[in-house]
C-alpha cells in the first residue's frame, strides 16, 4: 500500500555538525516531497520541498536530494544549531493532492 | 494572512459526548485536509476535500467520524459518540496550487 518509511527515528548531533534524515516511498507515481519541522506543542511547518523534476534543492543550511529510481529522498541540515532541535517529517504525494507522512525523526542538537 | 484557523484549541469531553472541531482554511486554497496525530500512529490523513467536495475519506477510522465542508471557508470534523481512544491532536491543513500544506495550530482532544 501507500507507505513512507523514515530513518532514523531519533538523531543526536553536536552543534555545528551535519544531520541527515532519509525517507523511502512506495508509490512510483509520487511527484512531490515536502519536509516539515514540528516543535514541541506546535504545528508542523514546511521547511523545504522538492518536485520530481529535480534531483536536489538547497535553501541556506537545508538541502533535499531525491533519487526517483531508488524511490528515496533525504534531508540534509548543515552547521546545526540548538534551534534546529525538533521533530522532522518527510512526506510523499499519493494520487494527486494526498500526502502520506513518515513517522518522524526527533533531532536533538547538543550545544 | 491569518493562516489556517482551528477551534477550539483544547477540548476535554466525556466518553459518549459529541465533539465538533472547526477549521477555516487559507483564503484561496482549494484543498482542505484533516489529520490526526498521536504518538503511536504519527500523522494520519483522515479525509481531504477538493473544491469543497470530499475526495478521499479512506482514513476516517469508523462511522463515528464525519466531516463536512459546506463552503470554501469552513469545515467541521465531528465525532459522535466520542471514545477515549479518539484522544489526539487533530490538525486541519489547506493547500493551493503549489500543493504545500499549511497546518492550523491543531485541536488537542481529550476524551475521558
Q: What is the mean pLDDT of residues A76-88?
A: 97
* Residue A73 predicted with pLDDT over 70: yes
Q: How confident is the model over A5-57, as pLDDT tens digits? A: 999 999 999 999 999 999 999 988 999 999 999 999 999 999 999 998 889 99
A 45-74: CB under 8 A from B: 45-46, 49
Q: Which residues contact B63 (CB under 8 A, 6 or more apart)?
A: none
Q: pLDDT at position B1, please?
A: 65
Of B42, B56, B91, the CB nearest to A98: B56
| Spatial contact of A111 and A16, defined as CB atoms under 8 Å apart | no
Distance CA A98, CA B48 (A): 8
Dump pLDDT digits (tens) for B53-94: 999 999 998 899 999 999 999 999 999 999 999 999 999 999
The mean per-residue pLDDT over the stretch A86-93 comes to 96
Q: Which of B42, B50, B102 minimises the CB distance to A97?
A: B50
Question: Residue A95: left if φ>0, alpha if ψ -120 to 50, beta else—which one?
Answer: left
Amino acid at each position: 500500500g501507500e507507505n513512507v518509511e523514515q530513518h532514523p527515528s531519533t538523531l543526536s548531533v553536536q552543534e555545528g555538525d551535519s544531520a541527515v534524515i532519509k525517507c523511502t516511498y512506495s508509490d512510483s507515481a509520487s511527484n512531490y516531497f515536502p519536509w516539515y519541522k514540528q516543535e514541541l506543542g506546535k504545528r508542523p511547518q514546511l521547511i523545504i520541498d522538492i518536485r520530481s523534476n529535480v534531483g536536489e534543492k538547497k535553501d541556506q543550511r537545508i538541502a533535499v536530494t531525491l533519487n526517483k529510481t531508488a524511490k528515496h529522498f533525504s534531508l540534509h541540515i548543515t552547521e546545526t544549531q540548538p534551534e534546529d532541535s525538533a521533530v522532522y517529517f518527510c512526506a510523499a504525494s499519493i494520487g494527486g493532492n494526498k500526502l502520506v507522512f513518515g513517522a518522524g525523526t526527533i533531532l536533538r542538537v547538543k550545544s | 494572512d491569518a493562516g489556517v484557523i482551528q477551534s477550539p484549541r483544547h477540548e476535554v469531553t466525556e466518553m459518549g459526548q459529541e465533539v465538533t472541531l472547526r477549521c477555516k482554511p487559507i483564503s484561496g486554497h482549494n484543498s482542505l485536509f484533516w489529520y490526526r496525530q498521536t504518538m503511536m500512529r504519527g500523522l494520519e490523513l483522515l479525509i481531504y476535500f477538493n473544491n469543497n467536495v470530499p475526495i478521499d475519506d479512506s482514513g476516517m477510522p469508523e462511522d463515528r467520524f464525519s466531516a463536512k465542508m459546506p463552503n470554501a471557508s469552513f469545515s467541521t470534523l465531528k465525532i459522535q459518540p466520542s471514545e477515549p481512544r479518539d484522544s489526539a491532536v487533530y490538525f486541519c491543513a489547506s493547500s493551493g496550487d503549489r500543493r504545500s500544506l499549511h497546518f492550523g495550530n491543531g485541536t488537542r482532544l481529550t476524551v475521558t
